[in-house]
Amino acid sequence: MSAIARFAVALAVLSATPLAAHDSKTIQPPEGCENAPPDAILELPAPVGFWTRIVCTPTGHTLAPASGDAWQIKEDSRAAGIEAGGGDGGVDSAYFIAAAVHETEGTDLNWAKQLFARKSGAALPDGVRKTYALDLTDNRTNLIRIYIFTGESGPIAGVACLRSCENTVTVIVSHAEAVPMD
């Protein structure tokens, strides 16, 4: 599936869902994962699972923002979504089998902030209060680490290391109710 088709799928999923999920205290449900393998994880641990969900696509499982939020890409060294495997198989051929979350502090926190600034070419947005690291393992034993920078009402920005921190995606999170309508 081309990057344009994946983007269209992501937009369709986002547009069909309710607003204000970033304030949720409920784990986000998966999307389109009815036939997922039994060892696939379909929900992410709290608090990251309040803001991020797993979507099962024709090329494998991928992460998506919570309903009502959007990720504005600042820097991207990947071909498509933050996905399990390489996105080169069929339905359910690549999926996540493990997920762990911890709050970062000290040198790990400083490194995450520096990585975001270096890769995005911009400073972190104002208002960051806590930073979490989400570690994902896929069924091909690839590791993805995502740093999520949060503010008062949820995620503000993030940087994902895709199998290494040489391949990253940096995003700014947009909340639908905060975007003025014309």
Average pLDDT, the chain: 81
Tokens of 26: 């409920």
Q: Are 154 and 51 in contact (CB under 8 A)?
A: yes
pLDDT tens-digit map of 26-58 = 999 999 999 999 999 999 999 999 999 999 988
Nearest alpha carbon to residue 41 among 85, 84, 98, 87: 98
Confidence band (pLDDT; 50, 70, 90) for 90? low
- The CA distances from residue 51 to 30, 64, 80, 86, in Å, are 12, 9, 20, 23
17 SS3 class: coil
Q: Is the pLDDT of residue 173 over 80?
A: yes
Residue 16 is predicted with a pLDDT of 39
61 SS3 class: strand
Alpha-helix residue ranges (DSSP H) falling in the chain: 3-15, 48-51, 106-120
pLDDT tens-digit map of 63-87 = 999 888 888 888 775 544 577 776 5
pTM over 0.85: no
Q: Where are the domains of the chain?
A: 3-178
Confidence band (pLDDT; 50, 70, 90) for 143? very high
Tokens of 173: 């999170």
Strands 143-151 and 130-138: antiparallel
